Structure formats: structure tokens, C-alpha cells
Structure 1
Amino acid sequence: MDDTDTPPRLTRLTFHGPLSETRADRMVSRLSEGDPATVLDLGCGWGELMLRVLDAVPGATGVGIDRNAEDLDRGRHNATVRGLADRVEFVEESGHRTTREPADLVLCLNASHAVSDATPPRQTADALHQLRRLVTPGGRVLFGEGFWDRNPTPDELAAMWPDAHLDEQHDLATLVDVAAAAGFRPCWIETANTDEWDEFESGYLSDVDEWLAERPDHPLAAKTRTRVDAHRASWLRGYRNVLNIAYLTLIPVG
């Protein structure tokens, strides 16, 4: 046994969110129809959807912004493998009040926190106003954001993340209203389904669980086991079939 190794991180995930290959293909097809010349991905992680758009739109260039160096390195590696390294830049920086130039396509997938440091739910509105100034006239924004599919019970809230409370998420209709108030028309509204969530949550933990099963006495095992078990309990006892993700394709008004 090698006690110097560390738990793997997100190696089973293609996207860092509940997004299936089928839905991603449809998104890329729809977003590519306008031939965006520039793509900006805020809170990009490893920028998988951005890379797929660049692959679908020859000549388009992209910039991905994130604070996680490991994810950015993964994005750079994937870009090189796909022959896109000369058309994309992954930058380690904050998206808060970014001064980046507006782009034809702006992606912000489950990453409003990367654009705004406001307290939820005001974070959503603030992020949307930031995205409005970062998209060119006639461009598109793909905004992935959480919402309550139904109001959680007190027990479900208690099982979620620390200090979870009812008012921190909108329902879907209110989320769309907030986007409209920020200066957008919603041209496509879709939400993740249970299969996408189950695949994401299982993939989020599966490589670590295999690592733990093979190394029960590893020096990092106890701490790691506590972390992943707490996450799984939060999902299964807390937000499963309660919290959802909306993917809004938005057009700026005016």
C-alpha cells in the first residue's frame, strides 16, 4: 500500500454539474447556431461545455475564468488533446466585477458565486446583472442556477449544507422573473432531471469511495470517509428531488 497517495478528485465527471451528454449536445447545437466568435466561461472549472462549443464553431475563441488551478490545468490538457489550445485560454482569476470584454456567448453554469459575492438569493440577481454587461448585443448567456423544485421540509433543510434556509433559493418561475428583470428574454428554459442528478452525485463520489474501499487504513481515510459520507447524506436526506438546476438560455434586451 502506498500511503503517500491522496484521494482522487472528480475523475468520473465530464461536467461539474447534473448535465447529461444528450442535453449537452442539444445545448451546444443551439448555442452554436449564432456562430459566436467569442466565448466567456465564468467559474469555468475545466470548461467542458466551452470546449465543445469551440469545437462546433471553427474560428471561435474562448476564455475560461476560475480560481481552481487543478481544474484549469485539466481544461488546458483537454484543449490540447482536442487541438483547441490555440483558441482557448484558461485563466486563474476571480470573476467578481471582472473587467473582461463582452463576449458573444457567456457561460455561467452553477457558478453565480464566481460572479457575485452577494448573499443568496441576492447573489442570483447580482450575477445576472453582471452577465448582462458581459454579453454583446444579440449574443447569448447560458445561465445554470439552483432553484427549489418544491419547498424543503425542516428535516430536509437540516440535512443540507450548514445554515441552509428556505429563502436562499427561488422557485423556477421567480428565477425566470429575476433574469427578465436583469435585462434578458428567456429563449429556452430547461431543468435537470433525476437521472442527471443521480449520475452527477454518484460520479462526484465514486472514485473516492473506490479509493477508500482499497485503503481503509490509509492515514487520510478517516477524514476522507467523514467528508464523503456527509456529502452523500446531504444529497440523499436533504436536497435530492428538492433542489434542482435550471439552464436558462438568455438573450439580452436592447
Structure 2
Amino acid sequence: MTETDLPPRLTRLTFHGPFSEARAARTVDRLGRTMPTRVLDIGCGWGELMLRVLDAVPGATGVGVDLDTESLARGRANAEARGLGGRVEFVEGSAAETDHGPADLVLCLGASHALSRAEPPRHIAEALDALRRTVVPGGRVLLGEGFWQRPPTAAELDAMWPDAHAGEYQDLAGLVELAVSAGFRPSWIETADAGEWEDFESGYQSDVEEWLATHPDHPLAAETRERVDRHRASWLKGYRGVLGMAYL
């Protein structure tokens, strides 16, 4: 079996999260005005937002850290295609075990778990402490973190990921209070909307669904179909409209 026989991964997604082009443009403008010289992207994936910041701030350099070799390769290819290859480095490794700071702009989008081995929700406080040590005085951190939009019901928790529980996340106010307790001051607070979530969840599975339609008898089809059905049910019956994503 060759790699081309396997389902493609995440090619329909520009960002690995509920993050629209409009929000990206506003965010890059907001962060670019601070004129960072060094950007650190923790749990970067393919580092799309980092690359856009570097493109907007001539002379800035960046480092992205992640464990996913496929995503890192995509980031390197995107950087080269945009003429940014000499200004950015994509590093395979654990953010908690490697030291790539300090930086004057730190991005951590949906990757707080990379900075703490604690069980949720304590990992968020530990990640915030780690981020505080990673950014230079006067610098900026963009944190993308989950929160409960409302308390989940027992049925919704049962439909989510294994061992999901109501104490796993804070509400938005509680999340912001954790950030303030860690020494941050929130200069901007916004949350992903329903359209961004639907674009992300649909894009997350679209590649695989297209592949299943054209490979119904593939040896991996049954296993793959079960996996995507389980994920879709987790979203639609579990965390849709319940789990939010805040950008602080």
C-alpha cells in the first residue's frame, strides 16, 4: 500500500481551527502593528497565521514547534512558496521540552496541552504560566483556547470525546480570569462564531469523505468510515454550540 492510497489529511483547511479569513486579516493587522521581531508559534501545525504575520512585518523571523511531521513539511513548503523560507524555522519537538523563547510575539492556538502534562482544566493555568515565561516584557501572546459556552448536559458529554467532563473547561469569564492571574492583561477578547466552527468541522472531514466515496472497497474504508462517523457524531450530538474557542 502506497501513501497515495491513503486518505488525504486536512487539505481543505487553511487554519487548523475555527478561524476565518476575515478574523485572520484583523488579527494579523492587530498583531503586525506591534512590529514583532521574533515570533514563536507553539503547536504550530503548518503555521499559517505565523507566516501571515511574517509576511506583514518585513524582517521579522519565526519559529514554529510541533510534533506532526506532515504538518511541519506543509509549513516549510508554504514558507518557501511565499519567499519566507529564510525567515522561519519549523522544528519537530515538544514545546514543553524545548526552549525556543523568549519572543516578542507568541502564538498558541488550540495548543495549551503542549505546555503542560496536567489534566484539564489545570493544564490551562500551567500553560499560561509557561507562556508568561516565554514572552519578553512588553510582548504579546495570542492564546486560542476552548471554553464552555454553556454548561454541557450529561447526554452531550457522553457524545463528546472519551472521559469528557463538565470541569474540563472554564466559561469565558473564568478563562480570562486565569489569564489575568497568570500576569497577562487582555487587550482583545473575541470568540469563534458558528460559521467558523461549521467551516472547520466540515473541512476537517471533507477530504476523507471524498476519499471514501471513491474508495468504498479499500481495505481501510470500514475503519476510516467508523472514525469519521464517530467524530461527526461527537460534534453534532456533543460539543456543537457548547464548546467555544476564545482568542485572547
For normalisation by structure 2, the TM-score amounts to 0.98
Q: Is the Cα contact below 8 Å between 1:16 and 1:45 reproduced in 2? A: yes
Instruction: Give the corresponding residue for 1:93.
Output: 93
AA of the residue aligned to 1:28 = V
- Counterparts of 1:54-93 in structure 2, within 5 Å, are 54-93=54-93
Instruction: Give the corresponding residue for 1:102.
Output: 102
AA of the residue aligned to 1:157 = L
Instruction: Give the corresponding residue for 2:13.
Output: 13
C-alpha displacement of 1:3: 10
Instruction: Give the corresponding residue for 2:192.
Output: 192
Tell me, in whole angstroms, the C-alpha distance in 2 between the residues paired with 1:218 and 1:151.
41
- Counterparts of 1:1-254 in structure 2, within 5 Å, are 5-248=5-248
AA of the residue aligned to 1:203 = G
Residue deviations 1:16-50 (CA, integer Å, cap 9, x gap): 00000000100000000010000000000000000
Tell me, in whole angstroms, the C-alpha distance in 2 between the residues paired with 1:151 and 1:61.
41
CA distance 1:214–1:170, shift in 2 (3 Å): same
Tell me, in whole angstroms, the C-alpha distance in 2 between the residues paired with 1:3 and 1:137.
46
Tell me, in whole angstroms, the C-alpha distance in 1 between the residues paired with 2:157 and 2:213.
30
Residue deviations 1:180-210 (CA, integer Å, cap 9, x gap): 0001000000000000000000000011001
Aligned partner of residue 188 in structure 2, secondary structure? strand
Tell me, in whole angstroms, the C-alpha distance in 2 between the residues paired with 1:98 and 1:183.
23
AA of the residue aligned to 1:65 = V
CA distance 1:181–1:3, shift in 2 (3 Å): closer
Q: Is the Cα contact below 8 Å between 1:40 and 1:106 reproduced in 2? A: yes
Tell me, in whole angstroms, the C-alpha distance in 2 between the residues paired with 1:229 and 1:25.
33
Q: Is the Cα contact below 8 Å between 1:97 and 1:130 reproduced in 2? A: no
C-alpha displacement of 1:100: 2.0
Tell me, in whole angstroms, the C-alpha distance in 1 between the residues paired with 2:169 and 2:3.
42
AA of the residue aligned to 2:128 = L
Q: Is the Cα contact below 8 Å between 2:63 and 2:100 reproduced in 1? A: no
AA of the residue aligned to 2:22 = T
CA distance 1:212–1:166, shift in 2 (3 Å): same
Displacement over 3 Å in runs of 4+: none
Unaligned runs of 5+ in 1: 249-254
Tell me, in whole angstroms, the C-alpha distance in 2 between the residues paired with 1:159 and 1:234.
5
Tell me, in whole angstroms, the C-alpha distance in 2 between the residues paired with 1:26 and 1:189.
13
Residue deviations 1:163-190 (CA, integer Å, cap 9, x gap): 0000010000000000000010000000
Aligned partner of residue 140 in structure 2, secondary structure? strand
Aligned partner of residue 142 in structure 1, secondary structure? strand
C-alpha displacement of 1:84: 0.1
C-alpha displacement of 1:99: 2.1
Percent identity between matched residues is 69
C-alpha displacement of 1:104: 0.6
C-alpha displacement of 1:97: 4.6
Q: Is the Cα contact below 8 Å between 1:3 and 1:218 reproduced in 2? A: no
Tell me, in whole angstroms, the C-alpha distance in 1 between the residues paired with 2:33 and 2:161.
39
Tell me, in whole angstroms, the C-alpha distance in 2 between the residues paired with 1:188 and 1:16.
21
Tell me, in whole angstroms, the C-alpha distance in 2 between the residues paired with 1:68 and 1:86.
21
For normalisation by structure 1, the TM-score amounts to 0.96
